[in-house]
Structure 1
Amino acid sequence: MERVGADRRANPGEPRFPPSDDADMDLLNPRRNRLAQESSLYLRQHASNPVDWYPWGDEALEQARLQQKPIFLSVGYSACHWCHVMERESFENPVIAQYLNSHFINIKVDREERPDVDSIYMTALQMLTREGGGWPLSVWMTPDLKPFFAGTYFPPDSRYGPRRPPFLQVLRAILEAWNERREDLLRTANDITDSLREATARQFGDGPPLGPELLEHARHHLQRAYDAKHGGFGTPPKFPHALELQLLMRWHARTHDADAREMVRFTLQQMGRGGIFDQLNGGFARYSTDARWLVPHFEKMLYDNALLAATYAESVRAFGDPFDAQILRQTLDYVRREMTSPEGGFYSAQDADSNGEEGEFYVWTASEIDEILGPDLAPLAKSVWGVTASGNFEGRNILHRTASDADDAAKHGLELGRFREQMDQCKRLLRSVQAQRILPKQDQKILTAWNGLMIAAFAEGAMALDDPILLETAQRAADFVLRVLRNSEGRLARTTTLGMPAKLNGYLEDYAFLMHGLLALYHADFQPRWLQAVVELADLLVTHFADSTNGGFFFTADDHEQLLVRTKDVHDGSTPSGSAMAVTTLLKLAVLTSREDWYALAGETLTRYATLMHDSPSSSGQMLMALDFFLGPVREIVIVGDIRQVETRQTLRLLHQRFAPNDLLIFHDPNEAETPLALLPMLAERSMIDNRVTAYICENYTCQSPIVGFDAIRTAMTGP
């Protein structure tokens, strides 16, 4: 694996986000602890704490065994607001730090680098508390890693009452129990460990048959949770639920269900108009704290923007809404400008806090708008973005929309083009002032899995918008990941950071998400090298992650560090289930490459999780999308043509801009390269007829007669 260079300038654009915490600049601070040399920004942010932190590793675990002290495990991530709060209140407190150092072995973990550790102990928290959990995750465990007490954020005092006791009080109670009632704690730890192992080995009973009824059941479940007034699902805090929206689009493609279409279109519109979408810079925040998408939790995560960009791209292709195209472009432009490294990989996150205040970078007062934009533009901007003197967020304003460009242009008596010119001018002026504010920190950790999701988003966006710049961005990122985060044996690493080598073994999601991204990229540019990489990764995934005894896939490889349990990743969370994405990509790859063993493995996994899809459809969106593909009909469309001919380019553009999630598209130019029959056996005996672009369409092992010429192909695809 290559070392990532650190001496090249970042991509141009404004505003620029700093890569690290102030602690990173304090290289001579004698208080800096073991975390100072870690690649994780989150860990380095704690390097100046008086707490004697260890990173997760042999040194910490050996010290716990030697000293027979309980372990305090603290898990978070760099953009986590309450993680920063607990650090300021407790981990920088010398009294609390001294108590931790005297009586515990203290381990700090970045959940984004070590999702294996986070997953185990978050599940333990849920078992211990019967609550949902969150970050910061605080766990106390025995020297042999068995958890006996857990919580999330603990304040330094009693401000929140008995349900959230002061942190030092918790520490003293745990130490007393460790010293006086250790047998009770060990009994609890053993019980929780047994429960974790039972959950991992759980075998789902006979489930419902794999049929469209499972998809219909999920659609009705989503309908019941749908917020018809504001869009989206459930109650605040409201998350975007990109996978559920993608599932509804597939249901609409299958059944032409008008309600499914409305749920998708209205939700995407409301999110794109809301404060959860950065109206100045583009890109989505993590979630909305209210029902109407107005007040976000301001952190921006790469995976959210990847999943939402892919969702908007699918909507553009399915429904042709220009508003969705606008949000898609602004989101991907934001990622290109602010979240892309000089070498092409994508950064992980931008913080919610600026100058110690959540959201300060993003909000405006009415007087600021007046002063910056002046009397000609300020009234328009305040009307369009809902800016008032009293504000909508602690006396200031989160910019948002309540109407379309066309409606706002008509309201102000402007021609649509002129309206957009003036709004663009407003954005430029406000951004120039915003760039002078204290900027939120940026986590420049580059994660293989999240890069796979964003590669897919750029590839999907390139097809939907017919934009070669977006395609080039996806290609650069794919080249970067395959060059830097893959070793000579083809195995993936989890992460890298500018100036540091790749590290940590790749997890199931790293393989599955990257396969997903490379497969989308192959369909966008048809370069066989991407497909070849997917095939190689698929072989490694099956070899090292498949459970040959009980079925499904483990989250860690068979040669991974031995942890308390070896878990399986079957539920969607903030990102898709790694198991579900593995099934999705294996199904598609099996059809493309005629690998019946992969198809059988994916089908067996779907059968195993049929009960899960029925009982928990809201956490099974990706698995249900895999089921939608499995049920078909699946069409293999082979296009053979000379890319220099206008008809060929028209055909590819037509097929790229259709929403047909169960179509697999293959293109070959006989003048460009040797036919890759070893990868794509269905190219055998496929050639241009009459020297014109020719389509071969197959379904259920039956092929139609060749279709020659753009007009005939368009009719076959869309009707006369």
Structure 2
Amino acid sequence: MPLVNTLSTAQSPYLRAHRDNPVAWQQWTDSTLTRAKRENKPVFLSIGYHTCHWCHVMNDESFSSEIIAAVLNEHFIPIKLDREERPDVDAVYMMYLQAMSGGRGGWPLNVFLAPDTLDPIFGGTYWPGPWEEVSSKTGRTRKPQGPEFKDVLLRIHQLWTQDEDKCRHAGADAVRQLRDWTMAKTKADSSPLRPGILCDAYEYFVDRYDSVHGGFGEAPKFPQPTMLSLLVRMHQYMRIKEKVDLGDDRNAADMAIATLEKIAKGGIHDLIGNGFARYSVTADWSVPHFEKMLYDQAMLLNAYLDAWLFNKEANKFALDAVGDIATYLTNGPLTHPQGGCYSAEDADSIAPDNALTKREGAYYVWTYDEFFKVLGRVPGDIAAAHWGVSEFGNVDPQFDLHHELQGQNVLTVTMELPELSGVFGKSIESLEELLADCRDKLRAHREATRMKPSVDTKIVACWNGLAIGALARSGAAVLDVDPNAGAKCLDAAESAAEFIKANMYDETTHRLTRVYLDGPGTTPGMCEDYAYLIAGLLDLYEATFDPGYLIWARNLQETQNSLFWDESESGYFSAANDATNNLILRIKSGADAVEPSANAVSVSNLLRFSAMLGDEHLEDMALRTLDSFGKDIITQPYVYCGMLPSVVAANEGMRTIVLVVGKDANEDSVNDTVASVRSVLLPNTTVVLLRAVPRDDNDGHLQGWLVQQDDIYKTLLAAHEAKEHDADVTVYICRHKECGLPITGKSELMEVLERESNPEK
């Protein structure tokens, strides 16, 4: 029976986008893999995601081609996989590709597998389609370098039919080497992990810092928010503060903040409609790869919030960026109406001048004529000078490989307001008003006349965990500055948490489903889903002081420990111990990718739990996980940015701020004290709120659970319950199960908090 395309039944938008291909795509299922084994045909596994630009290119050139389909359907079992649904499968074969190609990788990830063992035989990323078809369809005259995809297919088929044993041996050998590498002992031999390791990471970043444009290394440039947050916080770690400042522009925090400011002014930032693109193809952040990912928004929201809290007066731009991203997440294309956030916005969209063609960035770029038609001559002149709009376009052809941006302008700040004021003889205030009006007009025109990029409407647990945490932190921090914006962020964070609990969580088993799209998916939660959601719920507890979130997070942590913990070597595997069918390796990684590793987030979670709940077992698990990656952290600390703050916490101890609300407290006074605690950046700190008299029975029940976790809370509450007259709020700063003297005055509290956030004071 011939293969037929089965992707119309897939849940993933990425897979469904290929349902009309002539390629007889199958899904990653037992029945498909059984057929490959029965027919002894190699599996062609193509992995991508909905907003992947080069995935779209390969689809247009190859997977829509009858020529390619004929070869694939006859000689292979073609399988399409969404990496965002199955990151465990993607990680295995990406590791193979990077090992085979000297570290290079990307998507689409295309690998040929032995049909029974699923060992990889050969792999690559983008291969060009049949040139005659491509040139005829697109009008291109420059043939891409490298072999055409059809030639690759025929060569692999030839190798398999002529020397199957050799192919199998090569695949088995590759898997053996990957398994040896993943199982290699990475525990520190004898040297304990010390905070000084952060200095080694700092020196690495100094060597690669771009003092002109911000960022690190050469193009393409990714924002790397986990690293930026680490650099901001380095100055608050007492033992290394003086060692991460070489003067000039090489202060750790200054490098991060300058980078964040450059990013905010670059073309990577949608200056008209909010949100940030995934990366820039240029060193100066001016020309982005236009897809917008949920995880980038969430992590950048945290990074900009850190920059603002670090120095509110100097870093007002960071507060603007916080508002920008928060608006994008709470009232933008990624906002699910029932709560939670969709995964991404596509890079490609319908071209305004050709309704039959999709082009990268078409929704975002402007011709000179259209720009001035919308704004008029005088406002247009000022706006064009500010945003670098040129008559012939502002994109260098070397960064436009497919000539999709010819004559187009990507808006990026090229003339700052003081210079603009001097050139046009207008006050900065009037220029701000004019540019805001221009922004509104351009946004209205864009929304009215252009087809919006498609949205990947999957709701992914881990990325929503990131968003929940970032929105909760931001909402709590800005509540005192902008109550409406703060409340909106907190509402969005709580709505997302409730959506996941109602639709992607089993109350009986305490297990997560990874993906939701018109219903829960079939893929169980991965380690990152648990880790990121737990982190988000801990942030949400500290933003709302609702112990229900803390209880849910604790239940999830127990499930994560039972499913993913490595009993022999410590740390967490990416895939569960009961979900490894058709997975040739279980990977355990502590190094960061675009997002912090699940192990890095897990260590932080465990340390936070141990500080909040007095759980020494969880603290021990955190320390053992750190130690399990110790050798690699010592030799390459710069790829462990997500874990390095926990190295400091493990050495210096976590700080817990306990707020005890008195019996007859004035709630305005309570809110004022809470706002004071949230007004400073305090790394490796947890915050707990207790009430001498709970507000209602449910509040009392939930607080009762919290108080039972740690005797310190019982002692503090007992002392306040015995008082006839009590302060509205009493603050205790606790470390190592010991609390300092009570603080009741705001001035004293602010003095202590400033000293805690700036150790030199």
SS in 2 for 1:684: helix
Corresponding residue for 1:52?
24
SS in 2 for 1:505: coil
* Contact map agreement 1:693 1:710 (CA 8 A) in 2: no
* Contact map agreement 1:463 1:657 (CA 8 A) in 2: no
Distance 1:532 1:411, change over 3 A: farther
* Contact map agreement 1:73 1:107 (CA 8 A) in 2: yes
Question: Are 1:471 and 2:490 counterparts?
Answer: yes
Q: Deviations over 1:232-277 (max 9, x none)?
A: 1111101111111111112111216441121011101100000011
Counterparts of 1:393-408 in structure 2, within 5 Å, are 393=395, 394-402=406-414, 404-405=416-417, 408=420
Cα distance, 1:417 vs. partner?
A: 4.4
Corresponding residue for 1:452?
465
Cα distance, 1:629 vs. partner?
A: 2.2
Cα distance, 1:162 vs. partner?
A: 9.9
SS in 2 for 1:55: coil
* Contact map agreement 1:32 1:49 (CA 8 A) in 2: no
Q: Which amino acid aligns with 1:448?
A: A
1:146 aligns with one of 91, 115, 119: 119
SS in 1 for 2:515: strand
Cα distance, 1:163 vs. partner?
A: 6.6
Q: Which amino acid aligns with 1:715?
A: E
Cα distance, 1:109 vs. partner?
A: 0.2
**Counterparts of 1:512 and 1:281 in 2: how far apart (Å)?**
31
1:440 aligns with one of 417, 439, 453: 453
Q: Deviations over 1:142-166 (max 9, x none)?
A: 1121111111111124799897211
1:635 aligns with one of 652, 655, 664: 655
SS in 1 for 2:376: helix
* Contact map agreement 1:593 1:681 (CA 8 A) in 2: no
**Counterparts of 2:175 and 2:736 in 1: how far apart (Å)?**
47
* Contact map agreement 1:314 1:464 (CA 8 A) in 2: no
What is the TM-score normalised by the length of structure 1? 0.92
Corresponding residue for 1:540?
559
Question: Are 1:554 and 2:566 counterparts?
Answer: no
2:669 aligns with one of 647, 650, 653: 647
Q: Deviations over 1:601-656 (max 9, x none)?
A: 11011112122112222321111122122223432111112674332211111111
Corresponding residue for 1:9?
none
2:272 aligns with one of 280, 285, 289: 280
**Counterparts of 1:614 and 1:413 in 2: how far apart (Å)?**
56
2:287 aligns with one of 274, 278, 295: 295
Cα distance, 1:409 vs. partner?
A: 5.2
Q: Which amino acid aligns with 1:482?
A: K
Cα distance, 1:484 vs. partner?
A: 1.1
SS in 2 for 1:175: helix
Corresponding residue for 1:570?
590
**Counterparts of 2:236 and 2:414 in 1: how far apart (Å)?**
29
**Counterparts of 1:363 and 1:163 in 2: how far apart (Å)?**
28
2:504 aligns with one of 485, 492, 499: 485
**Counterparts of 1:527 and 1:84 in 2: how far apart (Å)?**
44
Corresponding residue for 2:736?
700
Distance 1:32 1:142, change over 3 A: closer
Corresponding residue for 1:20?
none
- Where structure 1 has 5 or more consecutive residues not aligned to the other structure, the ranges are 1-30
* Contact map agreement 2:503 2:519 (CA 8 A) in 1: no
Corresponding residue for 1:712?
748
Cα distance, 1:681 vs. partner?
A: 4.4
What is the TM-score normalised by the length of structure 2? 0.87
**Counterparts of 1:410 and 1:610 in 2: how far apart (Å)?**
55
SS in 1 for 2:505: coil
Q: Which moved more, 1:171-180 or 1:191-200?
A: 191-200
**Counterparts of 2:499 and 2:424 in 1: how far apart (Å)?**
47
SS in 1 for 2:733: strand
Corresponding residue for 1:269?
261
Counterparts of 1:114-513 in structure 2, within 5 Å, are 114-144=86-116, 145-157=118-130, 164-204=146-186, 206-207=188-189, 208-254=191-237, 255=241, 257-258=244-245, 259-320=251-312, 321-336=315-330, 337-355=332-350, 356-393=358-395, 394-402=406-414, 404-405=416-417, 408=420, 412-435=424-447, 436-466=449-479, 467-488=486-507, 489-497=509-517, 499-513=518-532
Q: Which amino acid aligns with 1:156?
A: G
Question: Are 1:601 and 2:601 counterparts?
Answer: no
* Contact map agreement 1:69 1:104 (CA 8 A) in 2: yes
* Contact map agreement 1:493 1:504 (CA 8 A) in 2: yes
Corresponding residue for 2:84?
112
Q: Deviations over 1:108-138 (max 9, x none)?
A: 0000010011001111112223241110011
* Contact map agreement 2:109 2:124 (CA 8 A) in 1: yes
Distance 1:215 1:94, change over 3 A: same
* Contact map agreement 2:4 2:25 (CA 8 A) in 1: no
Distance 1:427 1:682, change over 3 A: farther
Moved over 6 A (4+): 158-163
Corresponding residue for 2:53?
81
* Contact map agreement 1:285 1:299 (CA 8 A) in 2: yes
Corresponding residue for 2:758?
none
- Where structure 2 has 5 or more consecutive residues not aligned to the other structure, the ranges are 132-140, 246-250, 351-357, 396-405, 480-485, 756-760
Distance 1:160 1:197, change over 3 A: farther
Give the aligned length.
Answer: 689
Q: Deviations over 1:179-214 (max 9, x none)?
A: 111111011011011112212211125343211121
**Counterparts of 1:48 and 1:601 in 2: how far apart (Å)?**
49
Q: Which amino acid aligns with 1:486?
A: Y
Distance 1:480 1:409, change over 3 A: farther
**Counterparts of 1:369 and 1:32 in 2: how far apart (Å)?**
48
Q: Which moved more, 1:209-218 or 1:699-708?
A: 699-708
Distance 1:340 1:32, change over 3 A: farther
Cα distance, 1:503 vs. partner?
A: 2.7
Cα distance, 1:366 vs. partner?
A: 2.0
Kindly indicate whether structure 1 or structure 2 has the higher relative contact order, using CA contacts under 8 Å at least 6 residues apart: 1
* Contact map agreement 1:344 1:473 (CA 8 A) in 2: yes
**Counterparts of 1:543 and 1:164 in 2: how far apart (Å)?**
47
* Contact map agreement 2:712 2:737 (CA 8 A) in 1: no
Cα distance, 1:402 vs. partner?
A: 3.4
**Counterparts of 2:432 and 2:98 in 1: how far apart (Å)?**
49
Q: Which moved more, 1:63-72 or 1:553-562?
A: 553-562
Q: Which moved more, 1:153-162 or 1:522-531?
A: 153-162
Q: Deviations over 1:457-510 (max 9, x none)?
A: 11121133221111111111111112211113110111011x233331100000
**Counterparts of 1:116 and 1:684 in 2: how far apart (Å)?**
43
Q: Which amino acid aligns with 1:149?
A: F
Corresponding residue for 1:15?
none
Q: Which amino acid aligns with 2:253?
A: R
* Contact map agreement 2:187 2:629 (CA 8 A) in 1: no
Corresponding residue for 2:354?
none
* Contact map agreement 1:377 1:426 (CA 8 A) in 2: yes
* Contact map agreement 1:532 1:679 (CA 8 A) in 2: no
**Counterparts of 1:160 and 1:569 in 2: how far apart (Å)?**
41
**Counterparts of 1:311 and 1:109 in 2: how far apart (Å)?**
32
